[in-house]
Structure 1
Amino acid sequence: MVKIRLARVGGKKNAIYRVVVADSRSPRDGRNIETIGRYNPQTEPSVVEIDVAKADTWIAQGAQPSQAVKKLIKIARAQAAA
């Protein structure tokens, strides 16, 4: 199954995440199909940049977003509308 999830990048105690489309069997930071955004929780306010059109396309094709990514997509839609 294909999942939309977070992959951790950045250094020790400096977590920055990429929003990726990956096979559910691949490791968290392993091989991914496509990178569709990024998330930096350390800034104030947090940086959430997701290509919502690509996310919707993948979801329409059957990809399952994780709980965290669902929340981030909702935030990205709200930012795009504002």
Structure 2
Amino acid sequence: MLKIRLKRFGRKAQPCYRIVVTDSRVKRDGRAIEEVGFYNPLTDETHLKFDRIVERLKTGAQPTETVRNILLKAKVFDSL
């Protein structure tokens, strides 16, 4: 099953996350199929590729709870 989840990068105590599409069996920071966004929790900054996220959701990818909240805030589900 495909998951849309966060992949951590950045320094210690300064996390940044990439929003990626990956197989659910792969490690958190493992190989991703596609990068579809960016999230910085310190500044609450997000960059999303709306068309790619909507396409992946339509094909059955499941977002994690945190990613679902980010997508709800960005109103991605309104375009489904």
TM-score by length of 1: 0.87
Aligned position for 1:63 = 61
Question: 1:34 aligns to what?
Answer: 34
Give yes or no for contact 1:16–1:41 (8 Å, CA) kept in 2. Answer: yes
**CA–CA separation in structure 2 for the residues paired with 1:35 and 1:19:** 6
Corresponding residue for residue 48 of structure 1: 46
**Count of aligned pairs:** 76
| Secondary structure at 1:15 match in 2 | strand
Q: Give the CA deviation at 1:50.
A: 1.2
Give me the CA root mean square deviation: 1.2
- Stretches of structure 1 that go unaligned for 5 or more consecutive residues are none
Structure 2 unmatched runs, 5+? none
1 CA distance for matches of 2:36 and 2:73?
15
Structure 1 stretches of 4+ with a deviation exceeding 3 A read: none
Q: What are the superposed Cα offsets for residues 23-62 of structure 1, whole Å, 9 maximum, x if unpaired?
A: 000000010000000000112xx10111122111001111
| TM-superposed deviation, 1:76 | 2.1
Separation in structure 2 between the aligned mates of residue 30 and residue 11 of structure 1, nearest angstrom: 17
Q: Does 1:2 pair with 2:14?
A: no
Partners in 2 of 1:76 and 1:51 — Cα distance? 11
